[in-house]
Amino acid sequence: MERDISARVAQLHTLLSDHAHRYYVLDQPSVSDAEYDILFRELQQIEEAHPEARTPDSPTQRVGAAPLQGFVQVEHAVPMLSLGNAFTREELVEFDRRVRERLERDVSDVQYVAEPKLDGLAISLRYENGIFVQGATRGDGRSGENVTANLRTIDMIPLRLRTDNPPAVLEARGEVYMSHASFNALNASMQVQGKPAFVNPRNAAAGSLRQLDSRKSAERKLSIYLYGLGELQGMDVPESQMQALEILGELGFPINSETAICSGIDACYDYYERLNRDRPQLAYDIDGVVFKVDALSEQRELGFVSRAPRWAIAQKFPAEEAITLLESVEFQVGRTGALTPVARLKPVFVGGVTVSNATLHNMDEIERKDIRSGDTVVVRRAGDVIPEVARVVLEERKNDPKKIELPKQCPVCDSAVVITEGEVKARCSGGLQCAAQQREAIKHFASRNAMHIDGLGDKLVEQLADEKLIANVADLYSLSMEQLLSLPRMGEKSAVKLINAINASRQTTLQRFIFGLGIRDVGENGSGLLASRFGTLDALMSADENALTNIDDIGPIVASSIQQFFANPHSRELIDSLLSQGVEFPENQVEQVEETLTGNIYVLTGTMSDMSRDQAKTQLQLRGAKVTGSVSKKTTAVFAGDDPGSKVTKAESLGVPVLDEAALLKLLEPNAL
């Protein structure tokens, strides 16, 4: 390539990335779009004529590349941590107290940096000698997915650091999110194309970042803010969080302009209240504030507990609320017949989604909150949890509406509704004769932690039942291709896949089978305990109360549910039918482990990456340990996964050891201790 061409290419790179930086990062455009386009096209033309001039950091390389087959896992050089949460002012004050205690600061204030907690996805951007070489999702904190091609399409991410003297390695960490404006534009275009809308900006951002086709990702306008550093080589480590942010800003990264220094915890709480007030005016969703001890020397002194730093905390905003009309109350019948009152609401936008149904939990709740049809109510929704009716706006109540009454008959099968003493929930007495219970039982049977029939989701079960192709779980195993193809919108490919998945589920484990049966009060954990204690289905079916209650965690109520289930001729028929269709599970497949942990009491919190909390619980219990839900002085240790929450705080204040998942796995190894 001629020298003047390569000089012009370098000049165009600088001009275009300067303009983009001013436009996207500083929000101070310096040229018109037309002027930018002229320069951009000039660069494109040179690159077409001289392909060797096209480098990965060229501003033309943001448009997306050919689709990938899948994402490759990449290990993070420095793990990406999670944060402990605080929900109240007291919890925040308690956090500050612990920080000061560890830093041996009796009176003086600690300096914190306050940053909005963006509701998006954590990512890590790696630059080698100033060039963006790799971007990855957080994943489980140790390794994530390589999403470089998609991140490249985000205009706010510099493809080259804005410095003449780049460090050998710099990893910048931050949050990818979608602004309200981009979210609304995206959903409007989804609607035009007849595609389903995204429920909230977070889901839309996640979906866009995980597009295998980065050209599609490029069409979705994602944004990013950087809030930290990972691996650093060839550069001095900054002295404070604030300085780290300043350096990131100088290198061309967008830093959130709401970031502020707060001296002492009262200033932190003021900041939190102000941001909560201003939240509706922000251009993006946030779900709280992150407070970080500013001085890095102090951060080092404080260190980590499990996988969250002791020097930072996320103070979450309270659940969002909205006012709407409660149009009517209906009763839904669950898998075990429990009747749940559901509020049908005039649709209202709250906590990032439109809500038109909300749970009323049970009759006691309705009574306690005095909720009536036609009331104006406050609906509340926090994060991903089910929306609920918080309270009635009594001032708005007109002409004394009638109280909500429990139906005497099941709304689905007309069987009598019964309330057992000591229970809050009313139940339909129809058992598996009730169509609603049958459907729920099938959904449960097919679900991930039960028989795991891939592709058989709730909607499809509804469809199959509507068409009378299945009435119980055993019917699944005699479904034919013809029957499946008779369903609306069912293609040949999906039908084959489903049949294969059903076939594959015939080979299962005793635990999955027991759980899949949906015995009342027997969850995944209980099924695991039963499977490993009894080893075979026959042994379990003939177990007496004594044998059942001998298992820690199985009391007389659960034991009686189990016995009732197996005494019911319907259940026996169903089991026979499943076995005769070829469903099988190896006997005694759970290893008998020694009770090495008898007398120990553990608490599990946060998300584990190698196993579910339920699985961890089963494993600990099998070894004779007790697993409880709350931390007390008697607790032997707390095992904390990701996003551990307030149990860790409690443990720390009681001096109970907090261990991570690796320690748990070690404890569960054969011959541990």
Instruction: Find out whether 366 and 353 touch, Cβ atoms under 8 Å.
Output: no
- Taking CB under 6 A as the criterion, the residue among 31, 39, 68, 81 binding ligand IVH is 81
Residue 290 interacts with ligand IVH (CB under 6 A): yes or no: yes
For ligand IVH, which is the closer residue by CB, 309 or 411?
309
Residue 160, C-beta contacts closer than 8 angstroms, at least 6 positions apart? 13, 17, 57, 130, 131, 132
**Structure tokens of 562?**
């189990």
Opening angle at CA 669, ends 663 and 673, nearest 5: 75
Which stretch, 44-52, 60-68, 309-317, 609-617, contacts ligand IVH (CB under 6 A)? 309-317
Angle, helix 510-517 to helix 524-534, in steps of 10 degrees? 130
Q: Is 337 in the site for ligand IVH (CB under 6 A)?
A: no
Give the interface segment with ligand IVH, choosing from 39-47, 110-118, 574-582, 608-616 (CB under 6 A): 110-118
* Among the listed residues 92, 245, 248, 312, the single contact to ligand IVH using CB under 6 A: 312
Q: Give me the DSSP letters along 229-290.
A: EEEEESSPPPSBHHHHHHHHHHTT----TT-EEEESHHHHHHHHHHHHHHGGGSSS-EEEEE
Binding to ligand IVH by CB under 6 A, coded x per residue (else -) over 639-658, reads: ----x---------------
Query: Among residue numbers 347 through 366, which ones bind ligand IVH (CB under 6 A)?
Result: none
Closest CA relative to residue 637, chosen from 625, 623, 624, 645: 625
* Token reading at 224: 């990013």
Tokens of 343: 């509020």
Name the catalytic one among 117, 292, 316, 647: 117
Cβ-based nearer residue to ligand IVH, 228 or 526: 228
Which lies closer to ligand IVH via its Cβ, residue 225 or residue 565?
A: 225
CB of 91 to ligand IVH, least distance (A): 15
Q: What is the distance between the alpha carbons of residues 528 and 259, in angstroms, rounded to a whole number?
A: 48
Half-sphere exposure of 379 (CA within 13 A, CB side): 28
CA atoms of 485 and 644, how far apart (whole Å) = 46
Q: How far apart are CA 200 and CA 180, in angstroms?
A: 9
Stretch that binds ligand IVH, among 79-87, 320-328, 399-407, 553-561 (CB under 6 A): 79-87
Nearest-approach distance from CB 235 to ligand IVH, in angstroms: 19
CA–centroid distance for 229 within its chain? 24
The answer to the question of residue 293 lying near ligand IVH (CB under 6 A) is no
Binding residue (CB under 6 A) for ligand IVH from 238, 249, 309, 535: 309
Contacting ligand IVH within 116-145 (CB under 6 A): 117-118, 122, 138
Alpha carbons 188 and 354: distance in angstroms, whole number: 15
**Minimum Å distance from CB 239 to ligand IVH?**
17
Does the protein bind ligand IVH through residue 258 (CB under 6 A)? Answer: no
- Verify binding: residue 314, ligand IVH, rule CB under 6 A: yes
Cβ 262 to ligand IVH shortest distance, Å: 14
- Minimum distance, C-beta of residue 266 to ligand IVH, in the bound complex (Å): 21
Taken in order 535, 541, 546, 549, the sign of the CA dihedral is positive
Instruction: Kindly state whether residue 248 participates in binding ligand IVH, applying the rule CB under 6 A.
Output: no
Asked if 357 and 342 count as a contact pair (C-beta separation under 8 A), the reply is yes
The contacts of residue 38 (CB under 8 Å, 6+ apart) are: none
Q: How far apart are CA 640 and CA 669, in angstroms?
A: 18
83 binds ligand IVH (CB under 6 A): yes
Kindly tell me which of 83 and 410 has the beta carbon lying closer to ligand IVH: 83
Residues in contact with ligand IVH, shown as a per-residue x/- string from 614 to 643 under the rule CB under 6 A: -----------------------------x
Considering only residues 13 through 42, tell me which ones interact with ligand IVH, judged by CB under 6 A.
none
| Site pattern 165..204 for ligand IVH (x: CB under 6 A) | ----------x-----------------------------
Stretch that binds ligand IVH, among 10-18, 113-121, 428-436, 630-638 (CB under 6 A): 113-121
Q: Is the dihedral of CA 259, 262, 266, 270 positive or negative?
A: negative
The residues facing 116 across adjacent strands are 289
Q: How far is the CB of 286 from ligand IVH (least distance, A)?
A: 8
Among candidate residues 454, 459, 498, 476, the one with its CA nearest the CA of residue 583: 476
Among 47, 94, 96, 115, binds ligand IVH (CB under 6 A): 115
Give the DSSP letter of residue 164: S
Please report how close the Cβ of residue 288 comes to ligand IVH at its closest, in angstroms.
8
Closest distance of CB 270 from ligand IVH, Å: 18
Site string for ligand IVH, 212-241 (x = CB under 6 A): ---------------xx-------------
56, two tokens: 């990965």
* Residue 493 is a catalytic residue: no
> Which among 86, 93, 9, 85 has a CA at the least distance from the CA of 45?
9
DSSP, collapsed to helix, strand or coil, labels residue 416 as: strand
Position with the least CB separation from ligand IVH? 122
Query: Which residue's entry shows tokens 């109970």?
Result: 656
Q: Which is nearer to ligand IVH, 118 or 473 (CB)?
A: 118
Among 17, 82, 447, 649, binds ligand IVH (CB under 6 A): 82
Alpha carbon 267 to chain centroid, angstroms? 31
Number of residues that bind ligand IVH (CB under 6 A): 16
| CA angle at 465 for the pair 418 and 566, rounded to the nearest 5° | 50
**What is the total residue count of the chain?**
673
Closer to ligand IVH by Cβ: residue 204 or 312: 312
| 430: phi then psi, degrees, rounded to nearest 5 | -75, -15
Say if residues 360 and 379 touch (Cβ distance below 8 Å).
Answer: no
Minimum separation from the CB atom of position 131 to ligand IVH (A): 25
User: Following DSSP, what letter does each residue of 408-468 receive, concatenated?
Assistant: SB-TTT-PBEEE-TT-S-EEETTGGGSHHHHHHHHHHHHSTTTT--TT--HHHHHHHHHTT
The one segment of 77-85, 86-94, 178-186, 652-660 that binds ligand IVH by CB under 6 A: 77-85
Applying CB under 6 A, the span of 81-89, 157-165, 435-443, 645-653 interacting with ligand IVH comes to: 81-89
As measured in angstroms, the least distance from the Cβ of 175 to ligand IVH is 5
Decide if 620 contacts 613 (C-beta within 8 A): no
Pick between residue 131 and residue 206 the one whose CB is nearest to ligand IVH. 206
List of residues contacting ligand IVH (CB under 6 A)? 81-83, 115, 117-118, 122, 138, 175, 227-228, 290, 309, 312, 314, 643
Catalytic residue annotation? 117
